[in-house]
């Protein structure tokens, strides 16, 4: 019988999506499921983006350039300039979501068995991208007690070996919601220059910064021109997850030229989605102001309700729309499945993402869950109440 590859066997399941069959069964039983498990915003996509697709005048849905259309990349560069990031369109490769941008980055700078240092917990698919690329993740643990702040730079330095090629951060963070400060970015800049490494920053949640804090990009200033790679996406910024448009940005010409070869191998990013994404760049600031106000209110509601539950510890996010909560249980995977299979309050239950899948260190995060506060405030209150009632009766 033909065999499956070792790489295929090693590919991790998504901690976010693996519980979907249990949620579907809950629906079949007539239950209402509050989805706190996935970062799918319920905010409306900007109308200007939807209209651009409706009224396009294309006669042929043709390939675009492998690096994305020049018009779109030029407007992306203009967008970055408004955020004090000064690049030109040749520094950008448009990708099929931020996911493909990460795969291109990994493929361009790392060989099999090379190492990448990532503060954990981190976006679960980093594990999958690393496995697919034959790259080893070397974790440095951030702690809920510290609100998941950047670990001491000395902890990074201890982990650097001849095989280390990069440090990867998500800023603001998924799943923690932590927003790295300018000072923390500068510390990382110093170490990557000292050891001649790349610094990859997943900045897809750039607009989502709260409490007066400002996002600081790794490409603000010119001290990391040859070391920095930005991963970006329209998915969360414009509530356009289904467009599957992202980009990879670097001033390092060799990196871009190498990534372009990967882009050419998959031909081009989707044409209609680029049209929508280019139009979305015209979204007024008022849209973001309203969205940020809404997410701050949701965050505050969620944190306040979670803090009312005995035995629950929660870190307060500074950005994005996620938080990590530590529960008085031993196995969040089993708890999440039990919620969907065996528990409800008046026919309603909750779907959460077990946090162990956001770590690469075995045995860490087993009693934690990630919550995406992408529901309205009333639904968040109901969902947390269901968690509260569930914890009263749940037995590990």
Same domain, 58 and 130: yes
Same domain, 258 and 377: no
Same domain, 92 and 119: yes
Sequence length of the chain is 396
Mean pLDDT of 167-189: 97
Indicate the burial class of 249 (C-beta count within 10 angstroms; 0-12, 13-18, 19 or more): buried
Domain boundary among 233, 262, 280: 280
Which is it for the CA torsion 98, 103, 105, 106, positive or negative? positive
Name the residue range of residue 276's domain: 47-280
pLDDT tens figures, 11-37: 988 877 789 999 999 999 999 999 999
Same domain, 57 and 160: yes
Domain boundary among 228, 248, 280: 280
Same domain, 313 and 192: no
In this prediction, what percent of the chain has a pLDDT beyond 90? 95
Cα–Cα distance, 75 to 92 (Å, whole number): 11
How many domains are contained in the chain? Answer: 2
Per-residue pLDDT, 51: 96
Contact partners, residue 275, CB within 8 Å, separation at least 6: 52, 53, 56
Tokens matching residue 200:
């990859």
Per-residue pLDDT, 17: 79
Same domain, 102 and 15: no
Same domain, 37 and 60: no
Same domain, 260 and 310: no
Per-residue pLDDT, 327: 98
CATH number at residue 271: 3.40.640.10
CATH number at residue 349: 3.90.1150.10
Q: How far apart are the first and last CA of the chain?
A: 39
- If DSSP codes are grouped into helix, strand and coil, which group holds residue 93? strand
User: Please, what is the average pLDDT of the chain?
Assistant: 96
Q: Which residues lie across from 94 on neighbouring strands?
A: 247
- If DSSP codes are grouped into helix, strand and coil, which group holds residue 99? helix
Q: Which residues lie across from 201 on neighbouring strands?
A: 169, 230
Same domain, 221 and 347: no
pLDDT beyond 80 at 178: yes
pLDDT tens figures, 120-144: 999 999 999 999 999 999 999 999 9
């Amino acid at each position: 019988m033909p065999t499956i590859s070792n790489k295929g066997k090693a590919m991790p399941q998504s901690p976010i999506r693996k519980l979907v069959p249990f949620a579907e069964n809950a629906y079949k039983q007539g239950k209402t499921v509050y989805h706190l498990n996935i970062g799918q915003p319920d905010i409306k996509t900007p109308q200007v983006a939807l209209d651009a697709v409706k009224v396009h005048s294309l006669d042929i849905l043709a390939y675009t350039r492998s690096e994305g259309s020049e018009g779109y990349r030029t407007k992306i560069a203009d967008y970055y300039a408004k955020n004090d990031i000064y690049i030109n369109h040749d520094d950008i490769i448009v990708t099929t979501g931020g996911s493909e941008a990460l795969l291109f980055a990994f493929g361009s700078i790392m060989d099999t068995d090379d190492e990448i240092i990532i503060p954990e917990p981190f976006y679960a698919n980093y594990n999958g991208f690393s496995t697919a690329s034959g790259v080893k993740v070397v974790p440095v643990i951030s702690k809920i007690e510290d609100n998941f702040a950047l670990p001491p730079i000395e902890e990074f330095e201890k982990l650097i070996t001849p095989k280390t090629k990069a440090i990867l951060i998500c800023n603001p963070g998924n799943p923690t919601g932590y927003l790295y400060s300018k000072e923390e970015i500068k510390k990382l800049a110093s170490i990557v220059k000292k050891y001649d490494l790349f610094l990859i920053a997943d900045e897809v949640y750039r607009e989502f910064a709260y409490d007066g804090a400002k996002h600081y990009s790794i490409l603000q200033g010119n001290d990391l021109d040859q070391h920095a790679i930005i991963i970006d996406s329209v998915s969360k910024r414009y509530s356009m997850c289904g467009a599957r448009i992202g980009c990879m940005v670097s001033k390092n010409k060799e990196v871009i030229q190498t990534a372009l070869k990967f882009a050419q191998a998959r031909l081009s990013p989707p044409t209609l989605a680029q049209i929508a994404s280019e139009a979305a760049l015209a979204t007024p600031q008022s849209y973001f102001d309203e969205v940020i106000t809404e997410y701050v209110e949701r965050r505050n509601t969620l944190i306040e309700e979670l803090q009312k539950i005995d035995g629950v510890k929660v870190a307060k996010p500074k950005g994005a729309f996620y938080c990590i909560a530590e529960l008085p249980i031993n196995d969040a995977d089993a708890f999440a499945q039990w919620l969907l299979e065996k528990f409800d309050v008046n026919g309603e239950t909750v779907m959460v993402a077990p946090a162990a899948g956001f770590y690469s260190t075995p045995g860490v995060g087993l009693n934690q869950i990630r919550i995406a506060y992408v529901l309205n405030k009333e639904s968040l209150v109901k969902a947390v109440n269901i968690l509260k009632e569930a914890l009263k009766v749940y037995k590990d």
